[in-house]
Chain A
C-alpha cells in the first residue's frame, strides 16, 4: 500500500450460500481508496454496495481476494482485531441510525470514546465538539425517541466522528430522510471531511447525494462498472 492509500481491494469475491447454491454478491472488485476521499458506492438495490462496506468495515469476510484496510489485511485478521480496528479507526453510519434507544444524544456519542477508554474529562470535550459540529448541542440530553429522523442521523454522524476515525462508512445515510435533511447531513459530512481529512465512503442510490461526492464508484451486479472522480 502506498503512503496515502488507506484501503486496497484486490480481486475481491463475496459469495453467500443460498439453499444448496451460492449467490455472488461481489465479483472481482479492485479498488484503492486514498486518505481524505469523499466517495460513494452507487448502484441499485442488490448491487453489492452494503456488502462491500461491511467487508471494508471488517463486519463481513471476503470469500476470496484481498482487502487491506489501514495496512491490515482483513482476510487474515481475527474478529477481535477487526473489532479493535473498527473501534480505533472507523466510524459507522447506518440507514436506520442504530442509536441506542435508552441513551441520550450525549451518551450515544460518548460510547465510542468509552470503548476507546478515553478519560472522562477528555470525553466530555470531544462529545461536545462532535455534537456541536452536527448542530445538536441543544439536544444533548434528548433520547432518540425525542428526535426527528434528521436529528437522529446527525447524532449517528457525531458518534461516527467523535473519536476522529480515519474512515467513516455510511450505509445509505439519507435513505430515511427528506431532501432538506439529506442536504444538511451531506453538508455536515462534507465539512467534517474537509476539517479532519476523514475519508467518507457512502453506499447510496440517492441521486441527491451524488452531487456531493468527489468520487463515484458505480456497482452493478457485484462488479465495478464505472469509477469516476469528480473534479470541481
Chain B
C-alpha cells in the first residue's frame, strides 16, 4: 500500500521528483567518475610499469640494487646456464646496467646506461630501432622526458663516457636514433638505452648481464646460481606502496564527494518534505499512523535513489562507457613531473566502486528522507494540517 502511494507521490510530483532524481544522479555520476579516474590513474601506472619495465618478472644479479648506482659496477656476470636457455628461446631479454655520462651541448649529465637485447618484444620499448642504425656512432634511445631535460633531438650526437670493467674511462660519440614516448619516467629520466652487444663490447663485459626480464609464463628454475628471482609482486611493490600511501587521499576524495552529494540530497529532500507538511497533516487526519507517514517518506527516498541509479545508468552510463573506452585527454604531460600518468586518462570503474556507490547513495537517501519526515511526524497533527513550521 505505502509503496503504491509512494510511487504515486513521486510520479505525481513531476518535475520536483525528476529534479531531485537528476541531482542525485549527477552526484552518483561525479562520485563514480572521479573515483574511476583515480583508479584508472593507478591502474595505468601499474600497467605501464609492467608493460615497459617488468613483464613477467626478472632475475637479478645478486649484487644489483637499482636504487644504488654504486652497485652497478659490480653487479654483472654471465647469466646462469638455465636462464640462458630462456634468453636463447627469446622468452627473456638481458640488460646490462652501468653508470655513464653524456655531454650534450657541452654539459655533463650523469646517466644510467642500459644495454638491452635489441631484438626483443618482451618489453614495450622500441629497442628494434637500435638494429636499424648503420652509422658510426653508438646508437642511443632516450625517453621524451630525458630529451626535454637534455635538450637532445633526434639525430643529435654527443660524447658518451663510461668506465669499463678494468676501471678505465673511455668515450665515444653517441647519436640519438629514437626518442621514445613510454609514459614511464623510470625508464626515461636519467636513462640511455643502447644495444647490449655494444654495451658488452665497450664495457669489456662479454656475455655479461645485470638482470634478465622474462615474459609471462616463463618456467620456474631450480638452479639460478644465486641470481635472485624478482616476481611481478616484488617489482610492483613500490608502486603498490605509493598507491597504498595514497589510498587515504582517495578515500578522502570519495568521502568529500559523497558528503557534497549527501548535503545536496539532504537539502533537496528536506526542502521537499518540509514543503509537504500540510500533506503529512492531511494523511494523519485521514488516519495514517505517524510511523507509516515516516515509512512512506522513507520509501519515497529509497525510490528516489533507485530512480537516480537508473537515471545514472541511462543518462551517464554511455558517457562513463565512452570515457572508459576513449579516455580523457589531460592538458598537461605529467611524465615531465616524474609521474606515470597517461596523456589520455582512462577511468576504471570496478564493480565494487559501482555497487558501493549505489548502495551508499541509497543508504544516504534513506537517512536523509527518514530524518526530516520523522521530525515532521512529531509535529502536532493540527499544526501539520495547517502547514505551520512549528517543530
A residues sitting closer than 8 Å to B (CB atoms) are: 54, 57, 59-60, 79-80, 83-88, 90, 92, 94, 98, 100-103, 107, 111-112, 114-117, 159
Residues A100 and B282 in contact in the complex (CB < 8 Å), given A79-B290, A87-B288, A114-B4: yes
Contacts A79-B290, A112-B286 aside, 5 further interface pairs with beta carbons under 8 A come to A86-B287, A92-B285, A94-B282, A102-B8, A115-B1
Decide if A115 touches B382 in the complex (CB within 8 Å): no
With an 8 A cutoff between CB atoms, is B14 at the interface? yes
Nearest residue in B to A57 (C-beta to C-beta)? Answer: B285
When the two chains form their complex, are residues B385 and A94 in contact, meaning their CB atoms are under 8 A apart?
A: yes
Q: Are A98 and B278 in contact (CB under 8 A)?
A: yes
| Cα separation A51 to B29 with both chains bound (whole Å) | 51
Question: Which chain B residues border A101 with CB–CB below 8 Å?
Answer: 279
Which chain B residue shows the least CB distance to A102?
A: B12
Say yes or no for B281: interface residue by CB 8 A criterion: yes
Task: Enumerate chain B residues within 8 angstroms of A100, measured Cβ to Cβ.
Answer: 9, 12, 279, 282
Taking CB atoms, residues of chain A closer than 8 Å to B286 are 86-87, 92, 111-112, 115, 159
B317-361 CB contacts (< 8 Å) to partner A: none
Q: Is B247 an interface residue (CB 8 A)?
A: no
B interface majority secondary structure: helix
A60 touches B382 (CB 8 A): yes
Complex partner residue of A84 from B4, B5, B8, B287, CB under 8 angstroms: B287
Q: List 8 A-B residue pairs with CB atoms under 8 Å apart, sorted by A's residue number.
A: A57-B285, A60-B381, A87-B286, A87-B288, A94-B285, A94-B385, A101-B279, A115-B288
Most chain A CB within 10 A, of B13, B281, B385, is at B385
Given the contacts A59-B382, A114-B5, A83 and B12 also touching, CB distance less than 8 Å: no
Which of A85, A88, A100 has the most chain B CB within a 10 Å cutoff?
Answer: A100
What residues of chain B lie closer than 8 Å to A114, measured between beta carbons? 1, 4-5
**Residues in A whose Cβ lies below 8 Å from that of B1:** 114-115, 117
Q: Which of B1-60 contact A (CB under 8 A)?
A: 1, 4-5, 8-9, 12-14
Find the residue from A57, A59, A159 having the highest chain B CB count within 10 A: A59
Residues of B within 8 A of A54 (CB): 382
User: Which residues of B in the span 273-298 have a Cβ within 8 Å of any Cβ on A?
Assistant: 278-279, 281-282, 284-291
Most buried by B among A54, A83, A92: A83
Closest to A59 in B: B381
Q: Give A36 to B222 CA distance when docked, in angstroms.
A: 102
Chain A proximity of B14: nearest CB distance (Å): 7
Q: A87, B287: Cβ atoms under 8 Å?
A: yes
A98 / chain B contacts, CB cutoff of 8 Å: 278, 281-282, 285, 385
| Separation of A70 and B286 alpha carbons in the complex (Å) | 17
Q: How far is the CA of A79 from the CA of B288 in the complex (A)?
A: 10
CA distance A192 to B281 in the complex (A): 26
A83 to chain B: which residues have CB within 8 Å? 284, 287-290
| Other-chain residue from A102, A112, A115 in contact with B14 (beta carbon distance below 8 A) | A102
Check if B8 sits within 8 Å of A107, measured CB to CB: yes
A230 to B281, CA, bound (A): 34
In B167-226, the 8 Å CB interface with A consists of: none
Q: Which 8 A-B pairs have the closest CB atoms?
A: A87-B287, A102-B12, A86-B287, A98-B282, A59-B381, A83-B289, A92-B285, A83-B287
In the bound complex, what is the Cα–Cα distance between A128 and B284 (angstroms)? 24
Let me know if A59 and B287 touch, CB within 8 A.
no
Please report which residues of chain B, range 239-287, place their CB below 8 angstroms from some CB of chain A when the two chains form the complex: 278-279, 281-282, 284-287
Q: Kindly provide the distance from the CB of B108 to the nearest chain A CB, expressed in whole angstroms.
A: 79
- When distances are taken between beta carbons in the complex, the residues of chain B under 8 Å from A107 are 8, 12
Measured CA separation A30–B289 after assembly (Å): 29
Say whether B284 contacts A103, CB under 8 Å.
no
Question: Complex formed: what's the CA distance from A117 to B2 in Å?
Answer: 11
Give the distance to chain A from B21, nearest Cβ to Cβ, in Å.
15
Report the separation of the CA atoms of residues A107 and B7 in the bound assembly, to the nearest whole angstrom: 13
A116–B13 Cα distance when bound, in Å, is 24
